[in-house]
Amino acid sequence: MPDAPFWQKCNSHCVMCTNSDAYIDEPDEKYSLEKHREKIAALRANPEDRYVYYRNGEHGGYFLFTGGEPTLNPRFLRLLGEYRSAFPDWPMTLLTNGRTFCDEPFARDTMRLGGRPFAVAIPIHGPDAKTHDSVTRDPDSFDETVAGLHHVLRHRTAGQEVEVRVILHRRPTEWLPKTLDFLAREFPDTSAYRLTLVYFESEGQAEKNFEHIKISLTDCAKAVASCADALDAFADARLYHFPLCVLPERLWPRAWRTLPSYEIRHVDACRRCAMSDACMGPHDWYAKAYGVEEFKAFARRRVFEPTGNPFHPIARLGEGETDWTPPPPEDVAKDEGARW
């Protein structure tokens, strides 16, 4: 989905933030209401133009509002309302740390202006203030985020979704059992929100802090697998950025293909794998940091019931395996952009 960055600055300083110093230092004018109006006009004139927005333009028809912290834009509510008016039927997702929603009227107005279909995604980094605030590196962020989550849940209406994200780098992965327990206690109606566990990306501040936050896909997946029973307590629990070969099969139906093709760098095992078309594959930075030994090709195809959704291929596993013939090299090369 096209990324529409609303603001480049943030009131948190997360150790795994993917924003670069250069982005954070950009002038405020670049994200003004007037600049956004120019982009809105350009996209309305040509909805198929993939390059109006810099990132993720390959799938059109919906928006991802990002930052920095997008709600810090001084004209945020006006901006959100104008996007909704210009694209009344487009799904829109707001990625936010949720802290500004501790102001309940602000949370209410955001949900009202977001209309539908509209989603708000808010991260929880740990089970308490000490853990969460050590990731954001800003005091009071946990209390503000938890209050904000309660407020958006209170004011969401039909056609609106709330997503709680846990970004899994080293320490949040260690805290995951306690974090899941906290969420189940603090927000017991798990049908009211979606839980998404996201393996971190080594970009921007995360790349600068890599030695402090690093954890391999395999080690992270083991920790997630140990929480499989706890995940079953949530009505909708998803895994982002995990290739199938690092996950136990029990978790395959939770795995989503969540990266644009230009951020994926498949390795040789992927090209020989019978499950490649149902798998996201590794992020582009991963092999350089960890090598490729973790990735194993499946010689036979596991039987599964498809969802029909290319971003979420596996509904549930069936019985047994089937034969699979790898595509010839010329087909692989021809399909490089779409599949590999």
Residue pair 150/188 in contact (Cβ under 8 Å)? The answer is no
What tokens appear for 182 in the block?
Answer: 């906290």
What tokens appear for 17 in the block?
Answer: 């933030």
Q: What is the pLDDT of residues 242-285, one digit of tens each?
A: 999 999 999 999 999 988 888 999 999 999 999 999 999 999 99
- What CA–CA distances, in Å, run from 124 to 8, 58, 115, 192, 233? 21, 29, 24, 16, 17
Higher pLDDT, 221 or 52: 221
* Lookup result for tokens 């993720």: 56
**DSSP 8-class letter at 61:** S
Residue pair 149/162 in contact (Cβ under 8 Å)? The answer is yes
How confident is the model at residue 61, as a pLDDT? 83
How confident is the model at residue 337, as a pLDDT? 34
Peptide bond into 188 cis (omega under 30): no
Q: What is the amino acid identity at position 21?
A: D
Three-class DSSP category at 198 = strand
Helix (H) or strand (E) holding 289: helix 286-290
Q: Kindly indicate the confidence band of residue 194, based on its pLDDT and cuts at 50, 70 and 90.
A: very high
Report whether pLDDT(13) > 60: yes
| CA proximity to 283, closest of 242, 325, 254, 227 | 242
| CA proximity to 122, closest of 112, 109, 132 | 132
Task: Please provide the DSSP assignment of 305-330 as one string.
Answer: EEEEETTEEEEEEEEEEE---PPPHH
- Domains belonging to the chain, first-starting first, are 3-240 (3.20.20.70), 262-340 (no CATH)
How confident is the model at residue 336, as a pLDDT? 36
Report whether pLDDT(144) > 70: yes
Output the average pLDDT for the chain. 93
The rounded distance, in Å, linking the Cα atoms of 50 and 102 is: 35
How confident is the model at residue 58, as a pLDDT? 59
Alpha helix ranges (H) inside 46-100:
76-86
| Cα dihedral 148, 151, 153, 154 in deg (nearest 10) | 170
Q: What is the pLDDT of residues 29-88, one digit of tens each?
A: 999 999 999 999 998 998 877 778 865 555 678 899 999 999 999 999 999 999 999 999
For the chain, the residue count is: 340
